[in-house]
Amino acid sequence: MVPLHKVTIHHRKANRKISFDVPEGEYILRSFESHGEELPFSCRNGCCTTCAVKILSGKLDQTDGIGLSEEMRAKGYALLCVAKAIGPLELETQDEDEVYKIQFGKYLERTKAQAGNPFDI
């Protein structure tokens, strides 16, 4: 018998808290969708940040994803489409642009500073 883990998601945009028991080894996004819940996603393979969540408590397995740096994972971010519960979890959806800026902002600012303003004459 496959263990079930209670997963609670604070859906910021919808201002809702949703909880379901998710079978261990099943993708959390897919499990919530099977219950009729619509959560943010885009690529479904862990390459973008549309489904990014912040881990409020618990641990998960997201070895299938490549869209978040090790640094972001260490800060408690995960991608819902490739995340699997390995115990009880509490997560909060994030704004995609916010996560993208946290992850890549320092590189974009450095590139912008190096390039200068193309409109300066």
- 75 located within any domain: yes
Residue span of the structural domain in which 36 resides: 4-115
Would you say residue 40 lies in a domain?
yes
Q: Per the domain annotation, does 49 fall within a domain?
A: yes
Note down pLDDT in tens along the chain; length 121 residues.
Answer: 999 999 999 999 999 999 999 999 999 999 999 999 999 999 888 888 899 999 999 999 998 888 888 989 999 999 999 999 999 999 999 988 888 888 887 666 655 555 555 554 4
Beta carbons of 83 and 53 less than 8 angstroms apart: yes
The contacts of residue 116 (CB under 8 Å, 6+ apart) are none
Inside any domain, residue 120: no
Q: Is the separation of the CB atoms in 19 and 7 below 8 Å?
A: yes
- Domain-located, residue 98: yes
CATH of the domain at 9: 3.10.20.30
